Structure formats: structure tokens, C-alpha cells
Amino acid sequence: MATSRRRPSRRPAPEGRRRPAPQRPAEPGPVLELDVERIAHGGVAVARHDGRVVFVADAIPGERVRAQVTDAARDRFWRAETLEVLGASPDRREHVWAEASVDRAPEDRAGGAEFGHIAMRRQRELKAEVLRDALARMGGVERDVEVRAVDPALAPGVDVEEGTGWRTRVRLHVDAEGVVGPYAARSHRVVPVASLPLAVAELEEIAPLAGGARRAGAAAEASSIDLVAPSGGRAELVVHAARDRRPEHPPTVVERVGDRSFTLDRGGFWQVHRGAASTLTLAVQAAIDADRFDPDAENQDLYGGVGLLAAAVGDRFGPSTRITTVEADARATEHAGANLADWVGARAVPERVDRYLDRLAGATDGATRGLRGATVVLDPPRAGAGRTVVDRLAELRPAQVVYVACDPVALARDVATFRAHGYELETLEAFDLFPNTHHVEAVARFAAIV
């Protein structure tokens, strides 16, 4: 979420192509008939067997399935995978990715499209249920929320109704025998595939898939293969050998959002959905309360990457807006400085967010007072901002905080911490930036209740 998200992607540490991948348990557990009750965080459904919770993959609430237990090591719950659907939900459809279908053996199902068997409308409803539940249980907030599809006008070439053709970045893996493909679901076993329906068309055309003419050459001596389709250039296939090191000056690509261009490292972080950067730009701009915004305050863009959301703030409030973007990755920060050159009040700081906030908290009274009228935008990793960052940020008392979140549980934990400091959740919007997966993006605004 999907992929993993959030900070600039880095190649895996050298590990050798012949390191054995994790395997499923040699001794399978029992086969059960289960009535599926609800969806859980992580893309699995919840059923019960003799009072024990069973998390079952590839099922939909309301269905009855026959499932193989794959993990019975815990007393409180088991994990299982659907083998057969005995009573299908009206929301079940033919999987958008044939190689991930329940018709295949569980160990051969491609990972990364765990909701692909569910109608799009129902997918978004389930994601909203998970977000609402997390906010209520962990954040102490009862909040209705709707997960909205990406506006087709922001995502040319994407099939919004099918949830396909949206991924602009795909990583394929290469096993010891040279097989190219994604990992199987919940595994590090490479499975060959003949299609990549979630990828944009440009990537499907160049992907070295099973039976393709490019397969053997692309896989030679490779440990992984990245497919990248930037909006500002041609699609590229990048082969990584096991002993590759990150070059001192990596190749760059250009991404376009509206009339603006953003330069970043080809392997650096960028939102993977073709329409995500534009969607989040508009959502963050809308989330900021203009009555609380002071263009002369020490406004902040934390976990800022290459400056996308700092630019969103500047575009809404004008080129003289003061804003500091903070990012631990030095290369991303270097690009952010160049990407924000239009704003005379913008600066880019290469530093970890927690250390940066510690410095602000220890600064002179003048600097601290400057943050008191500020607007803070933050887009943390999947694990969330966390207590240390939220505690420090709340201590600095900004006027408002706009939080971009890609994990409902992490957001809910941070909601609880903000509330403990007197910052309440005022607005919340959610977007389906990862169709056919369980991932969801949310944009929240917090403000201190006086």
C-alpha cells in the first residue's frame, strides 16, 4: 500500500539470488467451513470457529466459504485462506487479476490485489467501515466517512469502475531460477503472471512477463525489476542486481501535477496512482481553514518528500507564503528545494522530523511563537507520525494541522494523541487511491479547541 508507501523507496540490501524465500507451513491446518462476519484491517475477513476468531483471506462479509487454516500457532486467532466459495456475496465478481483469483491454489495467487474479487462500490464501503471502526476504537471519535473514487478527470487512462490501469510504479521480483513476477499473497515466493491489470498501459507493454519476449534478457542476473511510468516522460524498465548500490547521482524523472512539474529520483517516493498527486493536492488545499492560515507564520510541511504538498499550500495562498518542508532523505530534500523555487518564502530542510521538532521546541521564544500561528501539513509513513512527533508538535501549538494518512489504525492512534493535547478532529475526507487493495488514503484536519 499497494505497496508500501511513504518514504523514498530503496533497493533491498544485498542478499544473493539463491537465498531461500519464506515458505508456507509444511503441515497445513484443518479445512473449515466458515460464515464470514465482517472485514478487518489488512484486507482479510473475520469469521469464527468454535469461538475462536479466524482471519480468512479472499472472502467477503456475508459469504460462507471453505477455508484452509495456514497459521494455527496462536491461541486467540487463526489465519486461513479461502479454497472454495460455498455461498457467494452478491458483491463478488470475477477477479480483475486472473492470477490472483480464488480459482487458483492459494500459494499461486499473486499478491497486491486482495480486494479484486469485490465490486468497486462494496470495496469502498468496506474501507470506510475499517476507517470508522479504527477511529471509534482507538481514536475515541465517532465519525461517518465515505471513501471517494478518484475523479476520472485527474487520472487519464484509469478505469475507475474496474479499479484498473492506475499503478505507475510496479516492482517485480526474480527468484533463483530466473522466474519473474510479483510475490504470492502473504509470501516471498515469486509467481509468474501474464498480466498486470492494476498497472498503467505503458507498464504492461514493457513488463517482462511470463511468455514475453523480454523476459529472459531482463531477468538475467537480476534480483528485482522496477517498472516506472512518470507523467512527464516515457515508461522505463530498471533492472537491479543483488549487489547494486544506490548511485551517488541517481537518474531522475519528472512528474506533472496540473501546471507544475516535480523532479525526483527515479527510485524515489511518489504516489503510485496516476491521479493521486492531483487528488491530494486538491484535498490538502481544501482541508486548510483559510481563516486560520497566516502566510507569514512558520508554516510547515513535514515528511515533505520532493515538495508536493508544500507546493499545494503555496499555490493556494500565494508565492510569498512562508513554508518549510522537512524530509529525512537528503536527495528528496535537494529536489524539493528546486521544485519550490517559485516561492520566495519556501525552504527545504534535510532532517528527521522528530529531531527537527526537538530543535524548534528548544529554540528561542521568538521562533516558538512563530509556530503558534502556523499551519502544519504532515504526510507520515504508513506507521503514522507516532506519539513522539505528535506530542512535540502539539507542544509547539500550531493553529491547525492537516494530516495525510494511508493507514486507518495509525491515523486513529494519532487522533487519540492529538485529542489528549486538546486538538480535535474537525474534518476528514477519504479517497480510494489504491483500488482493488485494502489500502485507503485519508486527509484530516485538527485544530486546538479553545
The residue among 147, 93, 83, 84 whose CA lies nearest residue 116 is 93
Q: CB of 407 within 8 A of CB of 392? A: no
Cα–Cα dist 118/115, whole Å: 6
The residue among 95, 79, 33, 85 whose CA lies nearest residue 60 is 85
Active-site residue set: 406
Residue 183 labeled ligand binder: no
Residue 303 labeled ligand binder: yes
Cα–Cα dist 82/80, whole Å: 7
Cβ neighbour number for residue 107 with a 10 Å cutoff: 15
Residue 391 labeled ligand binder: no
Q: Which three cell numbers stand for residue 33?
A: 467451513
Residue 271 labeled ligand binder: yes
Residue 74: Cβ-neighbour burial (10 angstroms; 0-12, 13-18, 19+): exposed
Question: Measured between alpha carbons, how far is residue 394 from residues 328, 367, 376 in Å?
Answer: 21, 15, 11
Question: Measured between alpha carbons, how far is residue 334 from residues 41, 258, 307, 345, 354 in Å?
Answer: 36, 22, 10, 16, 19
Q: What dihedral do alpha carbons 196, 197, 202, 203 form, nearest 10°?
A: -20
Instruction: State the first-to-last Cα distance of the chain, in angstroms, to the nearest integer.
Output: 37
Question: Measured between alpha carbons, how far is residue 113 from residues 85, 99, 183, 312, 434 in Å?
Answer: 18, 10, 11, 30, 9
For 98, list phi and psi in degrees, rounded to 5.
-55, -35
Cα–Cα dist 435/115, whole Å: 8
Residue numbering of the annotated binding site: 271, 303, 327, 379
Residue numbering of the annotated binding site for S-adenosyl-L-methionine: 271, 303, 327, 379
